[in-house]
Homo-oligomer: A and B are copies of this chain.
């Protein structure tokens, strides 16, 4: 699974960081999901291999502008490039109204249908509902913020099957096209016996799961979401000292709060993002290094502080590697 950060700043863009957006896909797949779409997300995408025509699902965590003001422009550009395939959008219901406003007031004419799913319905009183895409099962979880905010959990689907070769050999089933059919789950007749492919598949590996959280001041809301997950992306807008100065009304987390939660859940990988614009790259406080240092005090697992254009690869052995797609100029 690959995560490509398109924006890692909170509230307002800086010269180095755009506002929130994160692309997720299975490595090697052209199809992808976009989680949040701050203003300028389509501009960031121009510098990546991602194509608006191949965007499968667009998810919004909450209605604040730094998470959704890039939506109308991205929808317009997808139409200008001739997209025909329907686009699935999972978002707070207010986002549907916002798109309606744009269509009525600014002549936004789309060349494709929008399959809009209100996230409120996925976590409603009728019990949680899962969205199944070709590559992921997606669950939503409510968080705690100034406005309703959500986390999305992506669990991979269609795990590759693996034949139990020892069993096939023990039963004298010869290698060749029959093995290939059994791998696909076919039921075959062989020497008067009925063979069911499912009887010759090894137990699949654990599916990888990652959780992408929106703005949230109570990481414990995510206890259920991160159970069995390998990686959590969570905001760390502040360090504790500045969080105290700003006060709790902002509805954000500090690095210590998130790190303690991740440690308690024994999460293998924690990725922090959504940094207040006051944290600079240099070594003079407040700086990004302050956030990292604070998180490491509480969390001994694999920690990464996201930058725009960071590409994170979570392999099947649940190892994380990071490279950068930042354009050179």
Contacts and interface: CB of A to CB of B under 8 A. Distances in A.
A302 interface: no
Stoichiometry, copies per complex: 2
Contact of A94 (B42, B97, B106): B106
Q: Is the interface of A mostly helix, strand, loop or mixed?
A: loop
B39 A18 contact: no
B13 A108 contact: no
B39 A106 contact: no
Contacts of A117: none
A13 B106 contact: no
Contacts of A19: 73
Interface string A72-101: 110011001100000000000011011001
A50 to B, nearest CB: 14
A310 B329 CA distance: 18
Interface stretch (A60-68, A217-225, A281-289, A313-321): A60-68
Interface of A: 11-15, 18-19, 38-40, 42-43, 46-47, 63-66, 68-70, 72-73, 76-77, 80-81, 94-95, 97-98, 101-102, 105-108, 146-147, 329
